[in-house]
Structure 1
Amino acid sequence: MISLPLTLGTIPLRKSCLLKFLVVDIPSAYNVILGRPTLNAFRVIISTYHIKIKFPIIRGVGEAQTDALQERKCYVEAIKRGKKRGSEETPKIDDSNKQGKDPIPSPEPNKETPTTIQPVEELLTVELTPSDLGKVTKIGSKMTEDVRDQLVNCLRKNKDIFAWTPQDLEGIDPGVITHHLNLDPSIRSVKQKKRHFNLRRGKQTIDGWTHKEDTIPGMALQHCPSP
């Protein structure tokens, strides 16, 4: 890791920053790769279509533009180097026959006994209302008897918080949370215009749905006329 000054732009619209670069010894078609830290340090705006960058300076806006031909050469060279590295054979280590031993087989997953997800502990069924066997819940079985009795009494005391049917969902207290539409009350509401379908087009629609009912097995389709 080294720190080097980098200057972008042309005189007088240019800017310099001291940046850190990571030096690596690998073949590459590029001399320097500018990443996000550099772009953020210069506050760069990139235009890939124009192959140009712009950045703010004290006296205006600086810019730097690359050569399209040079960019294409670097791109082609990078692809060639990537193909060369991919074609090289990776050295393999084979120690199976050094001492006359058979290679150790790799472990395979046991497919005979499928794994099933089970609870950590056995659960106990608790009736919240003794007269109604359908209103039950489950609790853990590894707690002490005193803790279990306290929990059961607490659940039965607050059984009204459980919603067993959709009718039990009375809503949320407005003191907890409320929802407001992001509308301007001074603007008059506009009702959507009623759409009238052509009789011939409506008959074609009904006939089409009837045909689907006959051709699609196991489905019940019903036409709902528009209001």
Structure 2
Amino acid sequence: MDRGSALNILYIDTFDAMRIPRSELCLVGSPFHKVILGAQAYPLRQIDLPITFGGQANFRSKVLTFEVVDFLGSYHAILGWPCYARFVAIPNYTYLKLKMSGPNDIITVSTTFPYAFACDREHYELTTVVINSSKLLQLGESSTPAVLDCNKPTSSMAFSPLKETKAVGVDPTNPAKMVQIGTQLPAKWECELVDFLRDNHDVFAWKPSDMPGIPREVAKLALCLILGSTPAKQRLCHFNDERRRVIGEEAAAEEGDAVGKDPDD
């Protein structure tokens, strides 16, 4: 699983091993980046598959959309953040555990450190082969660095955050609940976006109490200590003058807000 991936990826070898007819795939045409080094990639097709976590007595199942790709990979599939969001799952890469709430108890998915090390080593070896491949070297030699003009929008800048934004209300019952949208949207797109946000204002979480039903055990991990071990103190971190100034200003602002609040609120 890769929380940094915006896609759920299924490799074609895995897909064929599942004996699913290729006629079940849906046509797509959008490329994605940062999967093949130095180039954009196009998926073969898309497919919706049911994914289940847990055992017979305690499990959860959801349908996820996968991009089926035909290039070489060291995994059978990659579950990205859409999977995390769909299952409301919380990972911990240090302990190699994934937790989510189930109908009867917390579902925990884990693996062993030797197996994780073997997977990482295989991925490293494959990446080394790809980096040293003649095709990638030719691609790097034939490409020229692009010079971006900040005053001229390009497709590569389409997802850059905008500095010029404005606040719009999304909850008709509470004018204080505002979100920021760009000021350079066409009028039609802006109206459609605002209508969409207002129609779905109930999915926004403004404070922890807006997310009931998530048990504490989902995010709680046990810290297993070795008996007789000597505690180690982390070294003191020092900040430079600029960061200390900003920290002081933020602390003073929060203290002022706390003083100004009504105790009965």
TM-score, scaled relative to structure 1: 0.40
Larger Rg: 1
Structure with greater helix share of residues: 2
* Higher RCO structure (Cα 8 Å, ≥6 apart): 2
TM-score, scaled relative to structure 2: 0.35
